[in-house]
Amino acid sequence: MHRTALLVSTALFAALLSPTAVRAAADPAPVPVDRFEGEVPFAAQPAEGIFTWGSDADDPPALRLTDRTDAPEGEKVLTGTYDISGWGGFTHDYAATGPARDWSAHRGIRFWWEGRGDGRVIAFEIKDGGAHGEASELWTTSFTDDFTGWKQIEIPFTDFRYRTDYQPVGGIDHVLGLTQMWGYALTLPAGTRGDFALDGVELYGRADQSLRASVTTDAAVYPVDEGGTATVRVTLATTGSAPVDEPVTVTYETAGGTAEPGRDYTPATGTLTFPAGTASGTTRTIRVPTLKDRTAEAAETVPLRLTVNGAKAPAENPQVVVDAHGLPYLDGRLPVRKRVADLLSRMSLAEKAGQMTQAERGALTAPGDIAAYDLGSLLSGGGSTPTPNTPAAWAKMIDAFQLRARATRFQIPLIYGVDAVHGHNNLVGATVMPHNIGIGATRDPGLARRTGEVTAAEVRATGVPWDFAPCLCVTRDERWGRSYESFGEDPALVESMETVIQGLQGRADGRDLKDDDKVLATAKHFVGDGGTTYGSSTTGTYTIDQGVTEVTRQQLEAVHLAPYQEAVDRGVGTVMPSYSSLDLAGDGRGPVKMHARADMINGVLKGRMGFDGFVISDWAAIDQLPGDQASDVRTSVNAGLDMIMVPYAYKDFTRTLISEVTAGRISERRIDDAVSRILTQKFRLGLFEHPYADTTGAARIGSPAHRAVARQAAAESQVLLKNAGGVLPLRRNQKVYVAGSDADDIGNQTGGWTVTWQGASGDTTPGTTILDGMRKAGGDLTYSEDASAPLAGHDVGVVVVGETPYAEGVGDVGNGHDLELSPADRAAVDKVCAAMRCVVLIVSGRPQLIGDRLGAIDALVASWLPGTEGDGVADVLYGRRPFTGQLPVTWPRSEAQLPINVGDAAYDPQFPYGWGLTTLTKVPEGGTATLRALAAAARAAERAGTDAAGRALVTKARLIVQRKAGQDITAALAKPFAAADHLLLTGRYGAAVAKLEEAYRAG
């Protein structure tokens, strides 16, 4: 006898004997979702089917239908194996072309699971509303495999919660409607290999009113001035907005908390009734009066306990908070140092530990943890966004977090941080600037500052006061996946671009930080992250990122530390250490992780340089230190870290930090120093007076004025490397053939750190592609991405090729990436350049090896990653603006030359550092005599302190040298040419022209 038949027979017999048979008979019959007998195929959208997914190629599980004699239902079960390092699982989606299913008549969903008894937690989610299964709301719960053999898992729909860490397209209505369901999915546990068996997924039971009716409050926390009355609005909501069939009652009482009834507030009790027939959306009001006295006090809480009958209760009881008042730290007229000292003197060790803790917003196990752990900070990691991803949703999300902080004793506001590394790049529709490598190519400090101003204005308008930027790394090896985050390979160039700090923060004394268009900046990654040795990384499959920087102390000072003194002098508010290790020659320590280097953080940064802001760790970086968690915490905090980014481990971190201080292994003085630094920046930002988002500037996000700055930056970042026969600028009367993978791809054009951490190809955010810009410039264009359209009849070809997006070590050369064009890009270049005069634009975060094709290319442009404003690229292509960009890094002939940098003893690149042709400007005539005269004038300008004149004289000399050299760039020419640009950036104009004279003679 099959087990199914036995189960059915037993169930019928039990039903006949049961006194609840009448009630059970009213339940609808179970509705099969999956029987796994082959009725649902292995297929993906838009067809109905079961399909797998995962974070990389190894993570999707392997599935099959297996004959089993012990199958709970039918003959077959679904079996699978998995070995997941990131995340993975499988989904059953209903067909996108068919109607959604109505599950609202049922109590829940159930299925048979063959237990392994291993204690693993399996996430189970259902898909509600939206256009189809991959554009629906995800509602999730989980079950634990703590049994062996087959067991039927029953999950009431009331157990499902809206996913806050990830939604594929954003919220539909945040209500589990159950009337438009698209299927289910299982997320399997990561970390260890496993197998499973599943059978008989079905809907069961009869829905009760509490499934479709719920009671909510308009907030979880109700701050009120002492003596004021808190108004709590209680709302009845139903699925589909239908009136309730049965009465709903809400009994309430004030009880517990830190406020004293009769002294701090008047107790409130009672019952709210929503009779049968009450419409969805009906609201009742509870009022809690507070009482005023003359005593200065910290905040006090009044929990409001709600008991609900006939509907689903709120996820948590709300609480009224009598605001802190009368204490010196709340007095905005006092100096910041006095406010900090007063507040610090009142705080407990637990409250101080909370201020030193930063969690990822999606990792909060409960919103109330913000108050429970006195958290000082939250962040959005790359791609961690609200749903929908709009300015209003960002502000609403952050305000909700700030509201939770009001339930703490001293109501210390959160400081929320994001990686806005080239504009507010996590926000769809924001103005996305060129990445730093392109900004370095502009050689325009004023423009760098304006890009910072735009970024700050857009970030602060969404409620975010803190930006993890700029990166002050000095990139010394273009195999590094973060090369594009650097302004260039020369520390002098990096220093010159640090005007961006003023763009972000305003004046160096911090007086502008409270403004609604300024944010706290972060100098990162201290120190030497751009100098790691290829092959030294021990992080996963990374090859150079997070590796070891092997330098002498002199090299460290001259190359990697120099930009940080500039940042400190400019008043940068925070500094983030690097994941990388520092191996200083002769110190006898070997490689030591930067997060553990007290000599560099306490000694150099805070001591010698005088940095008075706070130091924030990188993402979970202390986990990379040797030793256990206690050792990690002790080592990093004693090394000088003030706030620790522990995205998912905030509970463990705070407990461990408190334990280490209690045991005397971290001094209370060190804790007080850290918390003082953090509080100082919060006061400077005006967060105590204005913790919530000021969205008055939200209308300017992505505005024409902001995009005009990004367009100028894109134009000035373009570096013209070759221009044989003056093929550029293009003329509007020319017939232009456009090809290449990056011509019409906003995702490739913006690169990594755009909407998501790694970025993505395709239409990821609003913007103008290079092709769009060329079309708007008025040219007569034919576009064919793969150059398959007929080539004849065109005057010139423009082939836009380059890299696809990546970020951090994922983009390291040797980690699935190289410096070569893709086969498709090479084919497009070859086809177009063989048929007509051609221009090749390379859209990339670093130089690409193009030497073998250089002879066939008439004009070559390094476009870097120009951001959302492709119009800026078209501006220089069509001569609306001149090409003025210069190489911020050396362009190598081959990968074997790497690393290659200005100042190297052996230096023979394809194009030297500082190279950049111009258009629309007549190149000065002259030779050696002219250069000598320019050198004399440059020395005079240097003595007189007239920097603009000195720079102009060096530029003239550079253009003369480039004109003579053409494409015959020898090592003898390249070395003094590159040195001249470094000298220019350090203000030695006479010496710069002298070097250019040397290059001229060599040419």
CA distance 984 to 882: 21
CA dihedral (634, 577, 561, 903) positive or negative: positive
Structural contact between residues 728 and 883, judged by C-beta atoms closer than 8 angstroms: yes
Structural contact between residues 784 and 813, judged by C-beta atoms closer than 8 angstroms: no
C-alpha atoms less than 13 angstroms from C-alpha of 724 in its C-beta half-sphere: 14
For 792-857, the three-class secondary structure string (H helix, E strand, C coil) is: CCCCEEEEEEECCCCCHHHHCECCCECCCCCHHHHHHHHHHHHHCEEEEEEECCCCCCCHHHHHHC
CA distance 180 to 883: 56
Q: What are the CA-CA distances from residue 350 to residues 259, 355, 662, 668, 669 (Å)? A: 20, 9, 11, 12, 15
Greatest Cα pair distance in the chain: 113
CB atoms within 10 A of CB 261: 15
Our separate counts of H helices and E strands in the chain read: 26, 37
The runs of H, that is alpha helices, within 313-429 are: 336-346, 349-355, 369-372, 391-405
Cα 105–chain centre separation: 41
Query: Which residue carries 């300017």 as its tokens?
Result: 700
The runs of H, that is alpha helices, within 666-729 are: 668-684, 704-717
Structural contact between residues 171 and 192, judged by C-beta atoms closer than 8 angstroms: no
Q: Which residues contact 267 (CB under 8 A, 6 or more apart)?
A: 253, 254, 261
Measured in degrees and rounded to the nearest 5, phi and psi for residue 208 equal -105, 170
CA distance 143 to 155: 9
DSSP state of 539: S
Nearest CA among 91, 123, 126 for reference residue 108: 126
Q: Which two tokens stand for residue 14?
A: 């039990």
Q: Point out the residues that are catalytic.
A: 618, 808
Q: What are the CA-CA distances from residue 256 to residues 42, 243, 703 (Å)? A: 55, 35, 50
Structural contact between residues 203 and 108, judged by C-beta atoms closer than 8 angstroms: yes
Q: Which two tokens stand for residue 723?
A: 């221009």
In our burial notation (b when 16+ CB lie closer than 10 A, e otherwise), range 86-106 reads ebbbbbbbbbbeeebbebbeb
CA distance 520 to 613: 10
What are the DSSP calls for 187-203, one per residue?
EPPPSS-EEEEEEEEEE
Q: Which residues pair with 221 in a beta bridge?
A: 319
CB atoms within 10 A of CB 365: 11
**Bridging pattern class, strands 269-274 and 248-254:** antiparallel
Q: Which residues pair with 462 in a beta bridge?
A: none
CA distance 283 to 456: 40
Structural contact between residues 455 and 504, judged by C-beta atoms closer than 8 angstroms: yes
What are the DSSP calls for 885-918, one per residue?
---SS-B-SSGGG-S--TT-SS---SB-TT--B-
In our burial notation (b when 16+ CB lie closer than 10 A, e otherwise), range 812-828 reads bbbbebebebeeebeeb
